Amino acid sequence: MYRFLLKLATEFEKVAVSRLVTYHGTSAKNLPSIAREGLKALKPHDSPLIQRGVYLTNNIEAAARYATSRYGSEEYPAVLELLIASPKHVKKLTLDPLDDESEMYDQIEHTPWDESVEYLNGKIKKVLNWKGWSSPLDIEPDIDELNGMEIYRAILDFAKQQGLNIQETKRKLREEMPPGENFGDFEISDSGTLKLTQQAYDNMHQMVYPKSLPPVTIKAIWVPEKVLNPVFRTLAVEQQEFGSKLLAGEIANFSAEFQNARVWNQEELPQAMQTIRNMDAVQAGYVDISDLEAATQKGDVDHFNDILDWISYEDFANFDTTVNNQAWLKFNIEGRLTVDNAISLYKTTEE
């Protein structure tokens, strides 16, 4: 009897892990062709490191962010919820998101790691009282170098080479970079070593299915509420709030723009201030530049540059990328609603 129950439990466990729920961001205009041909296995880039397949994620918000960022401005975004019956064929695509090749996933030009490295460099500059634009340790965005790096020792060694007060440097280290401090994708261990967070490890793994997926794999479609035809609202089986997030690369670009606005003398202040007023981050209201305006009026070059540093390394490092939340509604693909006619869920352009 015991052996039978053990075998039965084992079989149930096999069934439990024999199906995998994944998500794929796309455009509503692609739904008819997906209904006919399924999701085609494609090779998104010529790089030999990127394999042919259907690229997936187990994070629905990541799929929604991709669909919105790529299709939200001119087309209607859609997120397909897929049920993979043979997950053994789904491969976790382990890439270094700080390498150029990894940027091909989802066709996004910037990686979600830029912000963490930028923030880390900003903290190091504060500890060492470094006024230069680049990091004093010349930290490159490479995971193999950063993961396991003895960051405390590297900072103290640099301080000794520069003849800095070691006790003061240690004090600043405890203040700015204490053990347990989280830099988004990295954290500092008790021994002063940089380690990737668990979430960062998870983000390193994107999934790819090496073959095309038939339409029957699609079990549900998620539609943004703002583009939903209200006639179909009652058919929704679930609703979730997702952020319309700025990509980390966009934030890194904003930060770099402010760094590039630094000035060397008073004569450059008016032109630099005008450039800043026209920046997208300022026009969108993400940044308060009143202190920069005041420094310009006073002709205080040092204070002006200090504020730029603060904006670049603090405002954007802690920037809440969830600018506008929007609701997404889930519709099961069954009965009357097929992948092909799911396009009717969306408002027409005439509306």
Q: Is residue 2 domain-resident?
A: no
Q: Which of 79-93, 188-202, 283-297, 305-319 has the highest mean pLDDT?
A: 283-297
The residue-averaged pLDDT of 78-101 equals 67
Q: Which of 17-21, 235-239, 244-248 has the highest mean pLDDT?
A: 235-239
If asked whether residues 94 and 143 sit together in one domain, one would say no
pLDDT at 329: 92
The CA R_g of the chain, rounded to the nearest whole Å, is 25
If asked whether residues 224 and 119 sit together in one domain, one would say no
Tell me: the pLDDT tens digits for 16-59? Answer: 345 788 899 898 888 888 988 899 987 655 444 456 788 888 77
How far is 63 from 73, CA to CA, in rounded Å? 16
Domain count, the chain: 3
Q: Residue 332, SS3?
A: strand
* pLDDT value at 199 more than 70: no
pLDDT at 18: 52
pLDDT at 237: 93
pLDDT at 6: 38
Higher per-residue confidence, 318 vs 69: 69
If asked whether residues 86 and 37 sit together in one domain, one would say yes
* pLDDT value at 100 more than 50: no
pTM, two decimals, is 0.50
Tell me which residue range forms the domain holding 76. Answer: 11-109+204-243+325-345
Q: Is residue 196 domain-resident?
A: no
The residue-averaged pLDDT of 167-184 equals 86
Q: How many CB atoms lie within 10 A of CB 192?
A: 18
Q: Is residue 351 domain-resident?
A: no
Six token digits for residue 216: 């029957």
How far is 291 from 303, CA to CA, in rounded Å? 9
Tell me: the pLDDT tens digits for 296-318? Answer: 999 999 999 999 888 877 666 55
Beta bridge partners, 243, equal 325
pLDDT at 93: 59
If asked whether residues 141 and 208 sit together in one domain, one would say no
pLDDT at 332: 92
Closest CA to 218 of 341, 327, 106: 341
If asked whether residues 164 and 226 sit together in one domain, one would say no
What percent of the chain lies above the pLDDT cut of 90?
Answer: 19
If asked whether residues 209 and 72 sit together in one domain, one would say yes
Closest CA to 195 of 133, 152, 136, 131: 152
Tell me: the pLDDT tens digits for 326-339? Answer: 789 999 988 677 88
pLDDT at 114: 62
Instruction: State the average pLDDT for the chain.
Output: 76
pLDDT tier at 249, thresholds 50, 70, 90: low
Closest CA to 184 of 122, 270, 269, 101: 122
If asked whether residues 265 and 234 sit together in one domain, one would say no
If asked whether residues 152 and 216 sit together in one domain, one would say no
pLDDT at 150: 86
Identity at 230, one-letter amino acid code? P
pLDDT tier at 103, thresholds 50, 70, 90: very low
